[in-house]
Chains A and B, each alone.
Chain A
Amino acid sequence: MKVLIPIKRVPDTDQKIQVKPDGSGIVTDGLPFVINPFDAIAVEEALRIREKSTDTVEVLAASIGPEVCEQQLRTALAMGADNATLIQCDASLDPWNVACVLRAFAGRYQPDLILMGKQGVDDDLSQTGQMLAALLDWPQATFASKIEFLGSGLRVTRETDAGLEIVRVTLPAVVTADLRLNEPRYASMTSIMKARKKTIERITTTELGVTIEPRLQLLGLEAVPSRRKSVRVGSLDELLVKLRAEEKLL
């Protein structure tokens, strides 16, 4: 069985993110980049599937973007992915483009399962997995908090606003990982060393026969001014007055 894990390189959102003065993007100087946390959860799940399975399971991590994305692929390899491919592309991509590139790549690699983060923590769009499943005409199970193998398919528990929903999908399928699916591991020393030596395959979007035609245009980014303020109140009555009259919360 082959599991494909698309990996997105994203800024560490625990850091202070600043918008460029012209609103065209964020300031990336000195900003640490990480593997998208939901993608790390997908990697972990693939490793657990491999560990539990009696069949041979190959875990392939793939990232689309410039050379720097190699760092995040190395992280996936250090965690335990078998192989990694960098799909070279310098253009900025929207979810549609990413889905198109991944469809072409899946056509070559022929995975049984594409396991990916439910969304990138940079733009929070949460579209790529869904679009990819549609393009491939595969079943999809999004926001997975539990994945079980059942016969020739999967039983996936999904986290929805209304509660847990359990769906069955046949393979091949696209599954997107939610936060509670698992807790990703740290890499061991030996696997970090091994990952450093591994060859990362490279392929271009042109070689995959994909033309990048954005359907989404970023008009501008704007930082939301922080509204957090704290005031010390003298009494409960004063607090109630403030909440009612000034903040209109009660």
Chain B
Amino acid sequence: MNETNNNTADVIIIGGGVAGLSTAMQLAMRGQRVIVLERQRLGCGSSGRAAGLLGQLRGTAEHTRMLADGLEIVMELEKRAGVEIYVKTGSLRIAETPERAQEIQELVAMGKSIGFNIDHISIAETARRLPYMKTDDLIEACYSPTDGHLQPAELVSAYHKVGKGLGVRYEINCPVEQVIIQGGQVKGVKTPRGEFHAPVVVNAAGPWSYLVADLAKETLPTAAIGHYYLTTRPDPDHPVDRLSPAVRNRHHRLYTRPESGGLIVGIYEDEPVEYDMEKLPKDFDMSAMKAGRDNLNVALLIHLTQQRFPWINERTPMTISTGIMTFTPDGKGLCGPLPEVQGLFHCSCCSGHGIMQSPIVGKVMADLILDGKTKYDLEFMEADRFHDVPGYQERADIKRKCYEMYASYYGQVEKANVVVKH
């Protein structure tokens, strides 16, 4: 077989994170020959740094339906790969102010209106379930028993294992240098290992995705933003059960879930760190990112954590994880083609929710690529929704809007309506 044949596929996927791996697996399930090109190692970017929370109740009913369907895919994946991915801990939202209480009430009403399993829970019951959390200042809480988290490493390995069994080829340490386009149609990509050819290329490059779009002279409205979370080590005085519910405490901008006997706590701070991916070294390794002992974002993270978990402070034995998220101006992913290049699909920018969305996003991408449509109303995450919209064309504007979205992510009070349509 000559090199051209060797490097020819039906679909080439740029990026071996959860978005790319899930899409590859779904395409392979439908008989496609797929090559995944990963600049370093599979799952070594944002996917490997994620907390993996799964909160199914989102701003739109369609989004919630998609996430619930995604969970079915995860169950199947667990069976085929023989690993535990989904940890069904349930999840809580808690409120200490009237406006946050209102937010929860609207959310519960909306959830119930679409048949999602969610209900109010008393503060006493909240305290019983989370003995390690301060609850005496809470005025409202709700509980969703089917939420939890997906274990990111297990998810990556399951996608890989099942994909490999279906014939997906994974090229690691193989960065894409050029996107080959002829007459407005994508033909493949160029890498240090030579050219790879396919009539369809999927850009699933996460924080690098806007740079991949640049290679094809397309504009992807996304920015790379730093994120921090802490993981405490098991503390006999404050045991955290592995099935303790996840908590979202928007007033303090934090989310939390159990991890190996300790607690993961992350925040969406109002002054995040911005990254220009093009300025990072070519061999930049996200898994080697580290926060200094005098990092202000870490100090804020610990400070806010202490408000809700008073036993956690600067001296608590813990690990700080830091990585890069890919945010869009509205905090929703970008899936599908842009008008400029035929055959080039984007699948990225899930704004801190890539792990939980990846199972269904892979399915949706396979549908879009092979059928040109999907059964879901994808309006809220179509890749071209900012195309030609004034104010979303220049890098500086895009960056500012994404940054503002991240900064207000937990700061703003959510409006949940029983019927939501854009």
Residues of A within 8 A of B (CB): 12, 14-16, 30, 32, 34-35, 40, 74-75, 78-79, 183-189, 192, 195
Contacts and interface: CB of A to CB of B under 8 A. Distances in A.
B288 A188 contact: no
7 contacts: A15-B285, A35-B293, A75-B293, A186-B293, A186-B299, A188-B302, A188-B303
A79 B281 contact: no
A16 B282 CA distance: 12
Contacts of B295: 186
Contacts of B292: 34, 75
Nearest to B279: A30
A185 B285 CA distance: 25
Interface of B: 281, 283, 285, 288, 290, 292-296, 298-300, 302-303, 314-315, 317, 320
A14 B290 contact: yes
A75 B302 CA distance: 17
B293 A187 contact: yes
A79 B293 contact: yes
Contacts of B296: 189, 192
A186 B290 contact: no
B293 A78 contact: yes
Contacts of A32: 290
B281 A187 contact: no
A27 to B, nearest CB: 10
B233 to A, nearest CB: 9
Contacts of B285: 15-16
A187 B299 CA distance: 6
A12 B314 CA distance: 21
Contacts of B283: 16
Contacts of B320: 186
A4 to B, nearest CB: 20
Given A188-B303, A189-B303, 20 more contacts: A14-B288, A14-B290, A15-B288, A16-B285, A35-B293, A75-B292, A75-B293, A75-B294, A78-B294, A183-B317, A186-B294, A186-B298, A186-B302, A186-B314, A187-B299, A187-B314, A188-B299, A188-B302, A189-B299, A195-B294
Contacts of B302: 186, 188
B323 to A, nearest CB: 14
Contact of A185 (B288, B290, B293): B293
Given A78-B294, A184-B293, A189 B300 contact: yes
A34 B292 CA distance: 7
B296 to A, nearest CB: 6
A184 B288 CA distance: 20
Contact of B314 (A16, A74, A75, A185): A185
Contacts of B300: 189
A187 B292 CA distance: 9
A12 B290 CA distance: 9
